[in-house]
């Protein structure tokens, strides 16, 4: 198999993984502003806005690679909970960060370009930081 064929055969699984993470990034874009509007503490709100801005940035990176690989970004929204307490919301958020990090880690060994490899490294580090932020907020809620 030529390296071109090999890259081509990996495109399907890679597109599937990137689309799986896109669903989660996109779910964040809906659930974070909704929750943020119920938070009065300004510092807490700013931290949630950081997660939101990063989710938008991540979704753009992921979509760019899906299109480059010849795929179509998928937009199905994951359901989001209506009436979580702050702690429940943060725990769920932390699980989402963990899940997204896991998807990016799984995409790493089949990444087809240096650019994707570099982007995945950045995404993994970013989700790790988000996980740590959630952990901190769970320990010291506003």
Shortest spacing between CB 8 and Fe ion, in angstroms: 30
* Residue 56 DSSP SS3: helix
Cβ proximity to Fe ion: between 16 and 129 the closer is 129
Chain residues binding Fe ion by CB under 5 A are 97, 127, 130
Q: How far is CA 70 from the centre of its chain?
A: 21
Shortest spacing between CB 104 and Fe ion, in angstroms: 10
Cβ proximity to Fe ion: between 112 and 127 the closer is 127
Distances (CA, A) of 55 to 10, 12, 40, 63, 135: 25, 23, 22, 12, 18
Shortest spacing between CB 24 and Fe ion, in angstroms: 8
By beta carbon distance, the residue nearest Fe ion is 130
Q: What is the DSSP string of 8-47?
A: HHHHHHHHHHHHHHHHHHHHHHHHHHHHHTT---HHHHHH
Cβ proximity to Fe ion: between 119 and 127 the closer is 127
Q: Residue 50 carries which DSSP code?
A: H
Shortest spacing between CB 126 and Fe ion, in angstroms: 6
């Amino acid at each position: 198999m030529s390296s071109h064929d090999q890259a081509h055969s990996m495109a399907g699984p890679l597109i599937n993984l990137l689309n799986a993470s896109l669903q989660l990034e996109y779910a964040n874009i809906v659930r974070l502003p909704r929750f943020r509007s119920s938070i009065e503490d300004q510092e807490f709100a700013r931290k949630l806005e950081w997660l939101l801005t990063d989710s938008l940035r991540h979704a753009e990176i992921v979509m760019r690679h899906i299109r480059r690989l010849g795929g179509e970004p998928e937009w199905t929204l994951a359901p989001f909970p209506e009436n979580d307490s702050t702690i429940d919301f943060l725990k769920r958020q932390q699980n989402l960060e963990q899940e997204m990090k896991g998807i990016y880690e799984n995409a790493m060994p089949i990444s087809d370009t240096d650019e994707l490899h570099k982007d995945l490294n950045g995404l993994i580090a970013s989700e790790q930081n988000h996980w740590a932020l959630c952990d901190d907020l769970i320990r010291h809620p506003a």
